[in-house]
Amino acid sequence: MLRDERGSVLSRHALSAIVAAAALIVPGLPAEASGPERPDPPENAVLSYTEPQDWTARVQVDITAYQRSDQFRAEVHRWTFDTMALIFPLIRETSASVGEPDAVKGLLRVGGRDYTSRFKVIDGYPGGAVYGRWDARELADVGEISLVFQSSVRSWETKIDEAAAMKFRWPKGDWPTEARSTFDPMFGVEIIGDAPARTAAIDRVLKKWTGGKDPKSIAPYTLAKYLAGRVIELVQPVGRGLQGGRSRTRRGFEGFRLQGAERTINSGRGSPFDIAAVLAGVYRRAGLPARIVIGLREFDEYDTNDAQRDDLRGENALHAYVEFFLYDEKTGDQAWVPVDPVLMRKDSSRARPLDRPWKYFGTHDQLDYFIPLAFHFHPPTTVRAYGSPGLWGWFITPAPPAVAFQQLTFATYNTPVRGGESRRDAGPHD
C-alpha cells in the first residue's frame, strides 16, 4: 500500500490522477465523450458497488461586465487585465464515483472568441478538492469571458457493510491528510460572506444531542448515524437554495443561496444545500472528517423517489450530500461513507432505529445517477466570484472587477461505453 509523505494512503485512482495532472491541450468539446476502458470502483473498506453508469457533464460559466441603459444614458464597463487565472473544480474520486482525468476538457473564451483549451491541474485543497486553472494575459477592452467545461465520471450504487463499519474506532493519532483537511472552515457551512467562521449553534446542538458527553465516547459510525437522524429531525426543507440567473434568454443560475449552518440551526429551516451544510458542520465539530459532494442528479426511470424528469433539468438537477470518513490506524483501511440527509428527510422526517439499516445512509441506490462536480460551493482559496457562490472563481491583476455578472448552465449526457453501446439512451439532459 503506497502512502504520501504525510502518511495518506494513495489509491490507484489518485496515482493515475497525479500522473495526469499536467497541462492538457484539447482541440474542442464534442457533445459526447467516449473515453478508454472505464475505471474500477473506489477502494473502500465498507462499501460494495453495483449498477455502474457512465456520465458526461458539461458546464458553462459566463462572466459579463456591468451594463446599464435607460432613456437618459448608457453605462457599459469593459475590462483590461494584465493576468487572469480562472479555476473550476475537477472530481477525481468520491465514495461512489471515479472521474476520468484524461477525459476532462475545458475551453476558455474571451469576448466571444476561443482563447485557449490548455489548463493546469492544481490540488492540495481541503477534502481532496482539485481544480483546473485556465490562464490568460494582456486582455484589453473585454466585456465577456466564458468557460465551457466537460468531464466524465463513472458512478455506482452503494451498499454498506454495517458490521464492518461499526468495527472502526477513533484514531489515537492524526487522521490521514485528506480527511484531516476537512476540518478547515468551509464557505456555506461555518463561513458566510466575509464574516469569520461561526460554530456556536453547531456546538450547542451537538452538546444537547450527546448529553454533554465527549462525542468520541461513541463509535464513529454509530455517532454519524445518530447525528444524521438528529439533523433531519431538526431542519425543515424550505426553498431550492438557488439564485436565478440574470439572463432571460436562456436557462441558468447565478449560484447557491446559502445561509450557513448557524442560521439554519437557529431557524430550523433551510434549503437542501443548507441541510447538507448543517450535517457536515455537526460531523466536523464532533471530530469526524466530513465533506460535501455537490453535483447533478440524473433521472432514473426505476427510481421510486418523487423526482420527475422535468424536475431534474439544468440547475434544478443540482443536489448535495455528505461523506464522512472512517479510518483504521492498524490496517490502514479507510472509507468515505455517503449520507444523503435531503433524501433521508423526504423518505421520513423521523429517524429510524439505530440498530436497523437506513436508506440513503451508506446504502444509496441513486448514486449511480449522480454526477459529482465539486466538494466546495466556492473554491477554498483567495479567488473572486460575483453575487452567489457558483463553484468557480478567478484571480485578476492588477485587480478584479468590482462588479460583474455570472451565470452557470448545465447539461448531462450518458457516456457511450466500449463498443459504441450505451447503458441508456444517450443524449443531452439540460
Domain ranges of the chain: 57-155+382-429, 156-373
- Residue 20, pLDDT > 90, answer no
Q: What is the mean pLDDT of residues 65-81?
A: 72
Measured between alpha carbons, how far is 403 from 75 in angstroms, rounded to an integer?
13
Measured between alpha carbons, how far is 314 from 371 in angstroms, rounded to an integer?
12
Q: What is the mean pLDDT of residues 370-398?
A: 95
Measured between alpha carbons, how far is 105 from 25 in angstroms, rounded to an integer?
8
Weakest mean pLDDT among 12-16, 291-295, 416-420: 12-16
Measured between alpha carbons, how far is 285 from 203 in angstroms, rounded to an integer?
7
- Residue 12, pLDDT > 70, answer no
The answer as to CATH 3.40.190.10 being correct for domain 156-373 is no
What is the tens place of the pLDDT at every residue in 137-163?
A: 999 999 999 999 999 999 999 999 999
How far CA 158 is from CA of 110, 271, 362, 367, in Å, comes to 42, 25, 7, 7
Task: State the average pLDDT for the chain.
Answer: 86
223 contacts: CB under 8 Å, gap ≥ 6: 215, 286, 288
pLDDT of residue 413: 87
Going by pLDDT thresholds of 50, 70 and 90, the confidence category of residue 89 is very high
The answer, yes or no, to whether the previous bond of 52 is cis (omega within 30 of 0) is no
Weakest mean pLDDT among 85-99, 236-250, 341-355: 236-250
- Residue 209, pLDDT > 90, answer yes
- Residue 6, pLDDT > 90, answer no
Model pTM score = 0.87
* Residue type for position 290: A
Measured between alpha carbons, how far is 425 from 416 in angstroms, rounded to an integer?
9
Measured between alpha carbons, how far is 323 from 142 in angstroms, rounded to an integer?
41
Percent with pLDDT over 90 in the chain:
72
Is the alpha carbon torsion for 255, 259, 265, 267 positive or negative? negative
pLDDT of residue 212: 94
Going by pLDDT thresholds of 50, 70 and 90, the confidence category of residue 16 is very low
pLDDT of residue 428: 47
Measured between alpha carbons, how far is 68 from 74 in angstroms, rounded to an integer?
6
